[in-house]
Structures are given as C-alpha cells and as structure tokens.
Amino acid sequence: MSRTNRPRRARGRSRVGERFEVEVGPVAHGGHCVARLPEPESRVVFVRHALPGERVLVEITEGTEGDRFWRGDAVRVDETSADRVPVPCPVAGPGLCGGCDFQHVAVPAQRDLKTAVVREQLVRLGRLPAESAIVSGLHVKAVPVPGRADDGLRWRTRQRYAALPDGRPAMRAHRSHDLVPLEDCLIAAEGARPADALVEEGAPPVVHTVTAAGQSHDFAVAADGFWQVHPEAPRVLVEAVLELLAPRPGERALDLYAGVGLFARFVADATGTRVVAVEADRTACHHARANLAGLDAAAVECGPTDRVLRTSLDEPFDLVVLDPPREGAKRAVVEQVVDRRPRAVVYVACDPAALGRDVAIFAEHDYELTAVRAFDLFPMTHHVECVALLEPRRR
Ligand SMILES: C[S@@+](CC[C@H](N)C(=O)[O-])C[C@H]1O[C@@H](n2cnc3c(N)ncnc32)[C@H](O)[C@@H]1O
C-alpha cells in the first residue's frame, strides 16, 4: 500500500522504499525494535513487525539522508524468534492498520517487551540504577478480561474509528493519514466493534460501577469523555493506587488530572476527609462534582493543573495522586506538587517515558521512586500503564 506520511521537513534524499537485510536488536519504546543497518549505511532503524534476535528484510518507511535514524517495516522474516505467532488480525501488518504493534508476538512475550521498555525508560530518563531492585524487580502484569482466555483480544471497551468517503469504518495506518478499511477490530470488545461504536452527538452520559478494595461506587461520564478503556482498569488502578498510597484516616488528598473523580472517590473512603479533584475538562468536572456529591469535604477545581496549583489551593496536602495525559505532568506541575511536601505521591502513567522524565524531576527535589507496578492494560499495542510511588527521601 502507498503511504502518505505526515508532513515533515525533508532533509536530503529520501530513502523510503529501500530494503536491507538486518539483525534485529532490542525492543525500544514506541512499538518497534532497534536495528543497525550494515555498512556503508550503519544507521539506526526502528523496525516494526519484528522481534529481538530475528533476521529480517526491512523496508524503509521514513528516512532521508540527513535523518539521524530511519523507520522501517519487517517485510520478510528470515530467522524467526520463538516468540513470533501468526497474526490474528487481517489488517495488522506492514502498511496496514496502525492501531496494534504486537499482533505478531505471543501475549506473554508482549509483556516481556513492555517490561524491558519500562525498565529502560526508568534507567535512561528516570536515572535509576539498572541494578536497583525497583528496576530489576519490575514485571508487567497480565490483566485478564473476566471470562476470556489470555489472548489479548476483545478488551477495548471504547474505540474510535475513522470513516471512508463511502461511510465504511477504517483505521489509520501507522504515522500516516492513510485510511485502512476494516470490518472488525479484534481488540474491540462487544459494543466497541465497528458496527456499534458510533457515539451520537448529544448521547447521554454513561454510568460505570467500579468495585475495588471492598467498596462500590457509580461514576457518570460523558459518552465521549475519558474513561479507562480496559474493563478491569478502573479496579486494578484504584487498588494499586490505594496499596501504594496507603491512605490514613484524616489525611488530606489531591487528585490531579482527576477525570470524573475515580481515584478521589476511593481515596476519600479511606481518609474520610478533604479530597480535592483537579481536572481541566469542563464536562468531566461537571460529572466529577456529581460523582463526589456525597462527600462533605470533597471539592472539584476546574482548570489546568498548573494554573489551579499556582493560583488556588493554598493549603497543605498529605497525599497526591496524579494521572496526567501522555505528555506527563512536567516540571511546573511536579514542582508545585513537591512544594506542598506531601507524605506520598502516586503517579499513574500511561507513558513510561513521561514517567521517567518526571521521576527525574521529583528526584531533583528529594522525592524518590520507592515502588512501581506495571499492568498490561493495552494488549497487542505497545502501551502499558504504570503506577509509581514517590516519597520524600529519608536521610
Ligand atoms: C489519563 S486521564 C485520567 C483521568 C482519571 N484519573 C481516570 O482514571 O479516570 C487524564 C485526565 O487529565 C485531564 N487533563 C488533561 N490535561 C490537563 C491539565 N493540564 N490539567 C488538568 N487536567 C488535565 C483530561 O481531561 C483527562 O480527564
């Protein structure tokens, strides 16, 4: 299939379409492995659809003479990894749907790849020693969908599709605007498959019941608003947050990037006192207020975390939960958090690179990473969810 890559600054002659035989090296963050092209190119290529240790023919999909590295797809496998499996999805593969990265990898081995990536990000960006117990003891855990085999399929409860001009559902190719038609998406759960995933404008809010740590709460969320996409994610993440935060009665808590108040609600069960949820999206704030309405000492502050922390909330907090979008919390927010000297900070991270960068900023302010859990809440893709505990360094 021809590809229309997103526009980028051309730097020299394009090498797209050229093919090279390579030995594939380690996995890297982003759903690909690293390979070095043979002489005279001797350049790094990020190769999709390959596995460490394989020998493949890679076709360059992005790369010009001036680029530091190129991207490519394994279009033929000459020496096969024991972790390679037949691809279950007919639209997964070079040039096809960009939604999944690891359909060609046995599901347990996908978790090994993600484990390697999270460890690498914590070492390279988080500046943790590779031999530390936190890094070497980290393993991405399976999160089975109740009633299903551990096959990595039919877990995604929300899925967005593009539409072809004739109305047929499609997904985008990897790093491309090209649309790939599809009849089904094998990671989509019933209700999120192409035939039934359309969210009508003005659709009423959806209510989810979450049972975790012996408590059950209902959460209203806009039909197109943020909610964790794996059916087990709310429970698993709430339980990990509570385990690491270990909230005590009377402790005051901040839930940053709170969505509709998932973590705030469960933390308040344990503390029984002041909890403040901070969220930028107005509709999510509206639902968070309703979801936390039964709590006398709860409040929702609507606005960007950075601004809310800078201009409001001039009060002490013992506990902070933060669950930022993929780009992470970044320096301004991390510094506002550590300024309040909380006893414990739990960071829920959907991007281990952002987590690593923010962990390094916390460390500059004497908050150290003391525990981390990682969960495979996005099988078949390179995505992984981490829950990390940061505490003031003990002297
Ligand atoms: C990964 S979601 C987490 C939501 C919630 N913790 C949950 O698990 O349901 C990130 C949330 O951060 C919100 N958000 C994005 N940028 C923000 C910002 N600068 N300040 C506050 N909230 C923001 C999004 O609207 C979204 O609800």
For residue 212, being part of any structural domain is answered with yes
For residue 342, being part of any structural domain is answered with yes
Strand-pair partners of 346: 321, 389
Of 60, 84, 108, the residue at which a domain comes to its end is 84
For residue 346, being part of any structural domain is answered with yes
Cα(253)–Cα(255) distance, integer angstroms: 7
User: In the numeric block, which tokens belong to residue 267?
Assistant: 């933390």
Q: Is the pLDDT of residue 2 over 50?
A: no
Q: What is the CA radius of gyration of the chain?
A: 22
Is beta strand 319-322 parallel, antiparallel or unpaired with respect to 344-349?
parallel
Q: Which of 163-167, 242-246, 369-373 has the lowest mean pLDDT?
A: 163-167
For position 319, which CATH number holds? 3.40.50.150
Q: What mean pLDDT is reported for the chain?
A: 94
Residue 394's CB: how many other CB atoms inside 10 A? 7
Residues with CB under 6 A from ligand 1: 226, 228, 257-259, 262-263, 278-281, 284, 304-305, 323, 325, 350
For residue 313, being part of any structural domain is answered with yes
Quickly state the pLDDT bin for 120 (edges 50, 70, 90): very high
Q: Is the pLDDT of residue 212 over 60?
A: yes
Pick the atom of ligand 1 nearest to 321's CA.
6
Residue 59 lies in domain: 19-84
> Residue 3: what pLDDT?
53
Quickly state the pLDDT bin for 8 (edges 50, 70, 90): low
Ligand 1 centroid, distance to 227 Cα (angstroms): 10
Query: How many distinct structural domains can be found in the chain?
Result: 2
Is beta strand 367-376 parallel, antiparallel or unpaired with respect to 140-142?
parallel
Mutate to test the pocket of ligand 1, among 226, 230, 309, 386 (most ligand atoms within 8 A of CB): 226
User: In the numeric block, which tokens belong to residue 91?
Assistant: 């639209």
For residue 127, being part of any structural domain is answered with no
Kindly state whether residues 372 and 231 are assigned to the same domain: yes
**What is the tens place of the pLDDT at every residue in 219-235?**
999 988 999 999 999 99
Average pLDDT over residues 46-58: 98
**What is the tens place of the pLDDT at every residue in 272-283?**
999 999 999 999
DSSP-based three-state secondary structure for 252: coil
Quickly state the pLDDT bin for 198 (edges 50, 70, 90): low
> Residue 61: what pLDDT?
97
For residue 166, being part of any structural domain is answered with no
For residue 164, being part of any structural domain is answered with no
Catalytic residues: 350
For residue 65, being part of any structural domain is answered with yes
Nearest CA, atom 11, ligand 1? 257
Residue 154's CB: how many other CB atoms inside 10 A? 19
